[in-house]
Amino acid sequence: MQSSIGSLRAQLQHSTAVLDGFGGDVQILKKESSQLTKSVNTLAREHLKQCKRLHIDRPVVDAQSRKLDELRICSQLIHSHADNLKGCLDAVVNRSYKPDLQRSEQGKPTKILVQCEQEAGTFETHIRLAENLVATVLPPEQAGWSYRPFLGEHRNARSLMDAFQATKGLSPDTMNVGTQLNCELSVVKLNAAAMRLRDQIEAPHVRQRVARPPFYP
- % the chain with pLDDT above 70: 84
pLDDT, tens digit (0-9, with 9 covering 90-100), for 14-69 = 999 999 999 999 999 999 999 999 999 998 888 888 888 888 888 877 888 888 89
Q: Rounded to a whole number, what is the largest CA-CA distance in the chain? A: 78
Q: CA quadruple 177, 178, 179, 181: dihedral positive or negative?
A: positive
DSSP reduced 3-state for 130: helix
DSSP reduced 3-state for 157: coil
**Please, which pLDDT band fits residue 163 given cuts at 50, 70 and 90?**
confident
Q: Phi and psi at residue 45, in whole multiples of 5°?
A: -65, -45
Report how far apart the first and last C-alpha atoms of the chain are (Å, whole number).
44
pLDDT, tens digit (0-9, with 9 covering 90-100), for 127-151 = 999 998 998 898 877 775 545 545 5
Tell me how far apart the alpha carbons of residues 155 and 146 are, in angstroms, rounded to a whole number. Answer: 10
Tell me how far apart the alpha carbons of residues 11 and 116 are, in angstroms, rounded to a whole number. Answer: 7
Tell me how far apart the alpha carbons of residues 120 and 18 are, in angstroms, rounded to a whole number. Answer: 13
Contact 2, 109 (CB under 8 A): no
pLDDT value of residue 25? 98
Contact 136, 151 (CB under 8 A): yes
Query: What's the rounded mean pLDDT across residues 98-110?
Result: 88
CB atoms under 10 Å from CB of 111, counted, come to: 10
The one-letter amino acid code at 28 reads I
Virtual CA dihedral for 120, 121, 126, 129, nearest 10 degrees? 140
Contact 32, 71 (CB under 8 A): no
DSSP reduced 3-state for 2: helix
